[in-house]
Amino acid sequence: MIQTWLQPLPHGITLSCRAAGERGRPVLLFLHGFPEAAFVWDELLLHFARPENGGYRCVAPNLRGYEQSSQPADVAAYRAKHLVQDLVALIDIEGAPLDCLVAHDWGGAVAWNLANQRPELARKLAIINSPHPGTFLRELQSNPRQQQASAYMNFLVRPDAEALLREDGYRRLLGFFGNPPWLTEELKRRYIEVWDASLTGGCNYYRASPVRPGSADTVNLPREMLTVDIPTLVLWAMEDIALPPELIEGLDDYVSQLTLEKVPGATHWIVHERPAFVAERLAAFLAR
């Protein structure tokens, strides 16, 4: 059974959370991306909470700005340091260190930062199609293919982005997914409920970040902000339109204990497309 609650944090932010499994068990923390929400992890939460699959305490927060979590009006409140602060506080409540921090898309952007800044809070890191900040910045600065693939980011920072995204029953946002068989009418309904409640928060992640086409050239990230020294699984769906495979080239220069697994034929939405496969690869990583 999925448990839901509002979790106040000491610094005044509240995160709406979903979880399966008993408190006191080893913790897996799952972080969603855009334009998703915590519910996308439900199948994996239930899977890993079962005794035969480890009996973990599995927690998926809605990041600030999403669903019923706090939605600060100030764009600066969505900068990485504040997002990391939220997770540090939540991990302290759930019990550190995590057995694994699992993250996709924007959740991965936060997870890379947390693993760099507070490595003692997680024994392992699992990233699903979320570019490392070092390789992402490199590709945005030098690769026209990545610049074109990321051009949508400059749409999402427009002041009228939310109004345009809501047109025609969220036609543009639903178009992010394509027209796959897993996108059922029930799933569309769940997404639309999230977007009705919290679309501005998701767009504010892009507004707060300087790492996007047209502005990335002015960004310099010191190497000490980019290294990750805990065991890390990167599961990379190779048909990701927005995040081409060049982003995983040179990852081992930043991640000292890297396991990189390429998944041909899968897209950015691999968690929806192949949840059993994602669970199997994550289980193998946890067992090492």
Catalytic residue check, 206: yes
Contact 181, 274 (CB under 8 A): no
Active-site option among 86, 99, 105, 240: 105
Measured between alpha carbons, how far is 131 from 134 in angstroms, rounded to an integer?
8
Please enumerate in sequence order all residues whose Cβ is within 8 A of that of 234, keeping only pairs 6 or more positions apart, or say none.
Answer: 127, 248, 251, 255, 258, 259, 260, 261
Contact 257, 230 (CB under 8 A): yes
Measured between alpha carbons, how far is 118 from 29 in angstroms, rounded to an integer?
15
Residue 281's alpha-carbon distances to 75, 139, 271, in angstroms, are 36, 27, 12
Catalytic residue check, 253: no
Catalytic residue check, 268: yes
Omega of the bond prior to 131 within 30 degrees of 0, cis? Answer: no
Active-site option among 47, 104, 132, 268: 268
Amino acid making up residue 137: L
Active-site option among 56, 170, 205, 206: 206
For the chain, where are the alpha helices, taking DSSP H only?
42-49, 80-94, 106-117, 133-142, 144-149, 152-156, 161-176, 185-208, 270-273, 275-286
Q: Is 191 helix (H, G, I), strand (E, B) or coil?
A: helix
214-240 CB burial, b ≥16 within 10 A, e <16: eebeeeeeeeeebebebbbbbbbbbeb
Q: Is 22 helix (H, G, I), strand (E, B) or coil?
A: coil
Residues labelled catalytic: 105, 206, 268
